[in-house]
Amino acid sequence: MARRKKIYEGKAKILYEGPEPGTIVQYFKDDATAFNAEKRATIEGKGVLNNRLSEFFMKGLGQIGVPTHFIKRLNMREQLVRQVEIIPLEVIVRNFAAGSLSTRLGLAEGTALPRPIVEFCLKDDKLGDPFVSEEHIMAFGWAAQQDLDDMVALALRVNDFMSGVMMAVGIKLVDFKIEIGRVWDNDYQRLIVADEISPDSCRLWDMETGQKLDKDVFRRDLGNLTDAYTEVARRLGVLPSNVTHAAKKPTLIN
Ligand SMILES: Nc1ncnc2c1ncn2[C@@H]1O[C@H](COP(=O)(O)OP(=O)(O)O)[C@@H](O)[C@H]1O
Ligand SMILES: [Mg+2]
Protein backbone atom coordinates (compact mmCIF):
# COMPACT_ATOMS: atom_id res chain seq x y z
CA MET A 1 0.00 0.00 0.00
CA ALA A 2 1.29 3.45 -0.84
CA ARG A 3 2.27 5.42 2.24
CA ARG A 4 -0.05 8.24 3.01
CA LYS A 5 1.17 11.71 3.68
CA LYS A 6 1.06 12.62 7.34
CA ILE A 7 -0.30 16.13 7.82
CA TYR A 8 -0.05 16.46 11.60
CA GLU A 9 0.58 14.38 14.67
CA GLY A 10 -1.11 15.65 17.81
CA LYS A 11 -1.43 14.33 21.34
CA ALA A 12 -4.28 11.92 20.65
CA LYS A 13 -4.60 11.65 16.88
CA ILE A 14 -2.67 11.64 13.63
CA LEU A 15 -4.04 13.33 10.53
CA TYR A 16 -3.27 11.93 7.07
CA GLU A 17 -4.15 13.27 3.67
CA GLY A 18 -7.48 11.81 2.57
CA PRO A 19 -8.24 10.08 -0.72
CA GLU A 20 -9.90 13.20 -2.14
CA PRO A 21 -9.06 16.88 -1.86
CA GLY A 22 -10.79 18.41 1.12
CA THR A 23 -10.79 15.14 3.09
CA ILE A 24 -8.47 13.86 5.79
CA VAL A 25 -8.08 10.62 7.68
CA GLN A 26 -8.08 10.86 11.46
CA TYR A 27 -6.16 8.06 13.19
CA PHE A 28 -6.99 7.66 16.90
CA LYS A 29 -3.93 6.79 19.00
CA ASP A 30 -3.84 5.12 22.39
CA ASP A 31 -1.88 8.03 23.87
CA ALA A 32 -3.38 9.94 26.75
CA THR A 33 -2.11 13.27 28.03
CA ALA A 34 -3.28 15.59 30.77
CA PHE A 35 -2.25 18.86 32.40
CA ASN A 36 -0.95 20.21 29.11
CA ALA A 37 0.92 16.98 28.35
CA GLU A 38 2.86 16.97 31.65
CA LYS A 39 1.25 13.61 32.36
CA ARG A 40 1.37 11.00 29.60
CA ALA A 41 0.56 7.34 29.14
CA THR A 42 -0.37 4.82 26.50
CA ILE A 43 -3.71 3.26 27.26
CA GLU A 44 -4.39 0.17 25.23
CA GLY A 45 -7.69 0.29 23.41
CA LYS A 46 -8.45 3.97 24.01
CA GLY A 47 -8.06 4.93 20.34
CA VAL A 48 -10.41 2.19 19.18
CA LEU A 49 -13.06 3.27 21.67
CA ASN A 50 -12.75 6.98 20.89
CA ASN A 51 -12.95 6.31 17.15
CA ARG A 52 -16.24 4.42 17.69
CA LEU A 53 -17.65 6.87 20.18
CA SER A 54 -16.80 9.95 18.14
CA GLU A 55 -18.41 8.28 15.11
CA PHE A 56 -21.53 7.54 17.16
CA PHE A 57 -21.90 11.13 18.44
CA MET A 58 -21.04 12.82 15.14
CA LYS A 59 -23.47 10.60 13.22
CA GLY A 60 -26.22 11.29 15.74
CA LEU A 61 -25.60 15.03 15.46
CA GLY A 62 -25.78 14.76 11.67
CA GLN A 63 -29.13 13.01 11.99
CA ILE A 64 -30.62 15.95 13.87
CA GLY A 65 -29.17 18.46 11.43
CA VAL A 66 -26.06 19.60 13.29
CA PRO A 67 -23.27 19.78 10.70
CA THR A 68 -20.07 17.87 11.50
CA HIS A 69 -16.88 16.90 9.70
CA PHE A 70 -17.64 13.16 9.91
CA ILE A 71 -17.88 11.29 6.59
CA LYS A 72 -17.36 7.63 7.46
CA ARG A 73 -15.44 5.29 9.68
CA LEU A 74 -12.74 3.43 7.77
CA ASN A 75 -11.54 0.84 10.28
CA MET A 76 -10.95 0.27 13.99
CA ARG A 77 -8.81 3.35 14.44
CA GLU A 78 -9.51 5.62 11.49
CA GLN A 79 -12.27 7.78 10.16
CA LEU A 80 -12.58 9.88 7.05
CA VAL A 81 -13.56 13.47 7.76
CA ARG A 82 -13.99 16.69 5.88
CA GLN A 83 -10.98 18.94 6.16
CA VAL A 84 -11.77 22.21 7.88
CA GLU A 85 -9.97 25.37 8.85
CA ILE A 86 -9.97 24.91 12.61
CA ILE A 87 -10.98 28.01 14.58
CA PRO A 88 -8.21 28.22 17.20
CA LEU A 89 -10.61 28.05 20.13
CA GLU A 90 -11.79 25.30 22.40
CA VAL A 91 -15.51 25.73 22.92
CA ILE A 92 -16.52 24.45 26.34
CA VAL A 93 -20.08 23.91 27.53
CA ARG A 94 -20.72 23.36 31.22
CA ASN A 95 -23.88 22.08 32.90
CA PHE A 96 -22.38 21.40 36.34
CA ALA A 97 -19.31 22.93 37.97
CA ALA A 98 -16.08 20.91 37.69
CA GLY A 99 -12.42 21.29 36.88
CA SER A 100 -11.15 24.79 36.18
CA LEU A 101 -14.55 26.45 36.75
CA SER A 102 -14.72 25.00 40.26
CA THR A 103 -11.19 26.18 40.95
CA ARG A 104 -11.73 29.64 39.46
CA LEU A 105 -15.03 30.41 41.19
CA GLY A 106 -14.71 28.23 44.29
CA LEU A 107 -17.73 26.10 43.39
CA ALA A 108 -17.97 22.54 44.70
CA GLU A 109 -17.63 20.02 41.87
CA GLY A 110 -21.08 18.88 40.80
CA THR A 111 -22.89 22.14 41.66
CA ALA A 112 -25.69 22.57 39.11
CA LEU A 113 -25.21 25.74 37.07
CA PRO A 114 -28.19 28.09 36.59
CA ARG A 115 -28.00 27.40 32.83
CA PRO A 116 -25.49 25.91 30.42
CA ILE A 117 -22.43 28.16 30.30
CA VAL A 118 -20.31 28.44 27.15
CA GLU A 119 -16.63 29.32 27.57
CA PHE A 120 -13.78 29.78 25.13
CA CYS A 121 -10.13 28.87 25.53
CA LEU A 122 -7.39 29.72 23.08
CA LYS A 123 -5.96 26.57 21.50
CA ASP A 124 -2.30 27.10 22.35
CA ASP A 125 -0.40 24.31 24.06
CA LYS A 126 2.54 26.57 24.91
CA LEU A 127 0.23 28.85 26.88
CA GLY A 128 -1.78 25.99 28.37
CA ASP A 129 -4.97 26.81 26.41
CA PRO A 130 -5.86 29.96 28.41
CA PHE A 131 -9.42 31.13 29.03
CA VAL A 132 -10.32 34.05 26.74
CA SER A 133 -13.32 36.38 26.55
CA GLU A 134 -15.38 37.27 23.49
CA GLU A 135 -13.64 40.67 23.59
CA HIS A 136 -10.25 38.98 23.20
CA ILE A 137 -11.56 36.76 20.42
CA MET A 138 -12.89 39.66 18.37
CA ALA A 139 -10.05 42.08 19.10
CA PHE A 140 -7.41 39.56 18.04
CA GLY A 141 -9.47 38.38 15.08
CA TRP A 142 -9.68 34.70 16.05
CA ALA A 143 -13.36 34.79 15.11
CA ALA A 144 -15.90 37.42 14.10
CA GLN A 145 -19.05 38.31 16.03
CA GLN A 146 -21.18 36.27 13.61
CA ASP A 147 -18.85 33.26 14.03
CA LEU A 148 -19.11 33.60 17.79
CA ASP A 149 -22.91 33.63 17.66
CA ASP A 150 -22.87 30.59 15.38
CA MET A 151 -20.36 28.80 17.62
CA VAL A 152 -22.45 29.35 20.73
CA ALA A 153 -25.58 28.12 18.92
CA LEU A 154 -23.75 25.02 17.61
CA ALA A 155 -22.27 24.26 21.02
CA LEU A 156 -25.66 24.51 22.72
CA ARG A 157 -27.24 22.17 20.16
CA VAL A 158 -24.42 19.68 20.75
CA ASN A 159 -25.05 20.06 24.48
CA ASP A 160 -28.77 19.31 24.15
CA PHE A 161 -28.07 16.26 22.03
CA MET A 162 -25.24 14.91 24.17
CA SER A 163 -27.10 15.54 27.45
CA GLY A 164 -30.13 13.63 26.17
CA VAL A 165 -28.14 10.71 24.78
CA MET A 166 -26.19 10.40 28.02
CA MET A 167 -29.19 10.82 30.30
CA ALA A 168 -30.88 7.93 28.47
CA VAL A 169 -28.06 5.63 29.61
CA GLY A 170 -27.79 6.93 33.16
CA ILE A 171 -24.88 9.29 32.63
CA LYS A 172 -24.71 12.96 33.56
CA LEU A 173 -23.01 15.23 31.02
CA VAL A 174 -21.12 17.57 33.36
CA ASP A 175 -19.23 19.45 30.63
CA PHE A 176 -17.50 18.95 27.31
CA LYS A 177 -15.25 20.66 24.80
CA ILE A 178 -15.58 20.81 21.03
CA GLU A 179 -13.56 22.29 18.20
CA ILE A 180 -15.28 24.03 15.34
CA GLY A 181 -14.01 24.59 11.82
CA ARG A 182 -14.83 26.57 8.72
CA VAL A 183 -15.74 24.97 5.40
CA TRP A 184 -16.36 26.70 2.13
CA ASP A 185 -19.19 25.70 -0.19
CA ASN A 186 -18.42 27.83 -3.24
CA ASP A 187 -18.29 31.35 -1.81
CA TYR A 188 -20.39 30.49 1.19
CA GLN A 189 -18.72 29.84 4.55
CA ARG A 190 -20.21 27.58 7.22
CA LEU A 191 -19.10 26.40 10.63
CA ILE A 192 -19.18 22.70 11.46
CA VAL A 193 -18.24 20.54 14.43
CA ALA A 194 -14.78 18.99 13.93
CA ASP A 195 -12.06 17.14 15.88
CA GLU A 196 -13.67 14.55 18.16
CA ILE A 197 -16.39 14.03 20.73
CA SER A 198 -15.39 11.29 23.15
CA PRO A 199 -14.81 10.63 26.85
CA ASP A 200 -11.44 12.38 26.32
CA SER A 201 -13.29 15.63 25.75
CA CYS A 202 -16.32 15.28 28.08
CA ARG A 203 -16.91 14.89 31.79
CA LEU A 204 -19.31 11.99 32.28
CA TRP A 205 -20.57 10.91 35.69
CA ASP A 206 -22.73 7.91 36.46
CA MET A 207 -26.05 9.37 37.53
CA GLU A 208 -26.50 7.04 40.49
CA THR A 209 -23.02 6.49 41.88
CA GLY A 210 -21.26 9.61 40.63
CA GLN A 211 -18.50 7.36 39.23
CA LYS A 212 -16.36 9.17 36.69
CA LEU A 213 -16.40 7.64 33.19
CA ASP A 214 -14.11 10.10 31.39
CA LYS A 215 -10.52 11.30 31.17
CA ASP A 216 -10.56 12.44 34.81
CA VAL A 217 -10.03 8.74 35.61
CA PHE A 218 -6.58 9.20 34.05
CA ARG A 219 -5.97 12.77 35.26
CA ARG A 220 -6.77 11.86 38.86
CA ASP A 221 -5.59 8.21 38.92
CA LEU A 222 -9.05 6.83 39.66
CA GLY A 223 -8.64 3.45 37.98
CA ASN A 224 -8.55 1.91 34.54
CA LEU A 225 -9.41 4.38 31.79
CA THR A 226 -10.24 1.74 29.16
CA ASP A 227 -12.73 0.14 31.54
CA ALA A 228 -14.45 3.51 32.01
CA TYR A 229 -14.65 4.22 28.26
CA THR A 230 -15.76 0.63 27.59
CA GLU A 231 -18.61 1.15 30.05
CA VAL A 232 -19.75 4.28 28.18
CA ALA A 233 -19.55 2.43 24.84
CA ARG A 234 -21.37 -0.59 26.25
CA ARG A 235 -24.25 1.50 27.60
CA LEU A 236 -24.58 3.29 24.26
CA GLY A 237 -24.52 -0.02 22.38
CA VAL A 238 -21.43 0.92 20.38
CA LEU A 239 -18.92 -1.50 21.83
CA PRO A 240 -16.80 -2.87 18.99
CA SER A 241 -17.21 -6.63 19.03
CA ASN A 242 -13.52 -7.46 18.63
CA VAL A 243 -11.93 -5.37 21.37
CA THR A 244 -10.18 -8.02 23.38
CA HIS A 245 -8.61 -6.16 26.30
CA ALA A 246 -11.34 -7.29 28.71
CA ALA A 247 -10.47 -10.64 30.23
CA LYS A 248 -12.77 -13.33 28.94
CA LYS A 249 -14.74 -15.11 31.61
CA PRO A 250 -14.79 -18.89 31.40
CA THR A 251 -18.07 -20.21 30.07
CA LEU A 252 -19.78 -23.16 31.59
CA ILE A 253 -20.63 -25.88 29.09
CA ASN A 254 -23.07 -28.52 30.11
N1 LIG B 1 -11.70 18.12 10.21
C2 LIG B 1 -10.52 18.62 10.56
N3 LIG B 1 -9.78 19.32 9.67
C4 LIG B 1 -8.57 19.84 10.02
N5 LIG B 1 -8.03 19.70 11.24
C6 LIG B 1 -8.72 19.01 12.17
C7 LIG B 1 -10.00 18.44 11.88
N8 LIG B 1 -10.45 17.83 13.00
C9 LIG B 1 -9.51 18.02 13.93
N10 LIG B 1 -8.46 18.72 13.48
C11 LIG B 1 -7.22 19.08 14.19
O12 LIG B 1 -6.44 17.90 14.23
C13 LIG B 1 -5.74 17.78 15.45
C14 LIG B 1 -6.16 16.47 16.10
O15 LIG B 1 -5.15 15.88 16.77
P16 LIG B 1 -5.00 15.93 18.37
O17 LIG B 1 -4.16 14.78 18.71
O18 LIG B 1 -6.30 16.11 19.03
O19 LIG B 1 -4.17 17.28 18.42
P20 LIG B 1 -3.78 18.24 19.62
O21 LIG B 1 -2.63 17.59 20.33
O22 LIG B 1 -3.39 19.47 18.86
O23 LIG B 1 -5.01 18.36 20.45
C24 LIG B 1 -6.12 18.98 16.29
O25 LIG B 1 -5.11 19.97 16.18
C26 LIG B 1 -7.42 19.46 15.64
O27 LIG B 1 -7.59 20.84 15.78
MG1 LIG C 1 -6.84 17.41 20.58
Domain shared by 173 and 125, yes or no: yes
Q: What angle do CA 6, 179, 226 make, to 5 degrees?
A: 75
pTM (2 d.p.): 0.93
Domain shared by 203 and 191, yes or no: yes
Residues with CB under 6 A from ligand 1: 8, 10-13, 15, 24, 69, 81-84, 86, 179, 181, 194-195
Best of 6, 14, 15, 126 for a ligand 1 pocket test (most atoms within 8 Å of beta carbon): 15
CATH number at residue 17: 3.30.200.20
Determine the residue type at 14: I
Report the C-alpha gap between 187 and 184 in whole angstroms.
6
Cα distance between the two ends of the chain:
47
Q: What is the pLDDT along the chain (254 residues), one digit of tens a residue?
A: 567 899 999 999 999 999 999 999 999 999 999 998 999 999 999 999 999 999 999 999 999 999 999 999 999 999 999 999 999 999 999 999 999 999 999 999 999 999 999 999 999 999 999 999 999 999 999 999 999 999 999 999 999 999 999 999 999 999 999 999 999 988 999 999 999 999 999 999 999 999 999 999 999 999 999 999 999 999 999 986 655 555 556 667 66
Q: What angle in degrees, to the nearest 10, is found between the helix axes of 145-167 and 46-63?
A: 110
Domain shared by 75 and 167, yes or no: no
For residue 62, give its domain range.
6-82
Q: Residue 44 has what pLDDT?
A: 96
> Is position 22 within any domain?
yes
Give the residue whose CA is nearest to atom 6 of ligand 1: 195
Q: Residue 239 has what pLDDT?
A: 82
Q: Based on the structure, what is the number of domains in the chain? A: 2
Domain shared by 47 and 112, yes or no: no
Domain shared by 56 and 109, yes or no: no
Q: Residue 41 has what pLDDT?
A: 96
Best of 6, 13, 46, 142 for a ligand 1 pocket test (most atoms within 8 Å of beta carbon): 13
Domain shared by 197 and 102, yes or no: yes
Domain shared by 31 and 90, yes or no: no
Domain shared by 146 and 220, yes or no: yes
> Is position 75 within any domain?
yes
> Is position 202 within any domain?
yes
Quote the ligand 1 centre to 97 CA distance (angstroms): 26
Give the residue whose CA is nearest to atom 19 of ligand 1: 10
State how beta strands 78-82 and 23-28 pair: antiparallel
Q: Which residues contact 152 (CB under 8 A, 6 or more apart)?
A: 91, 118
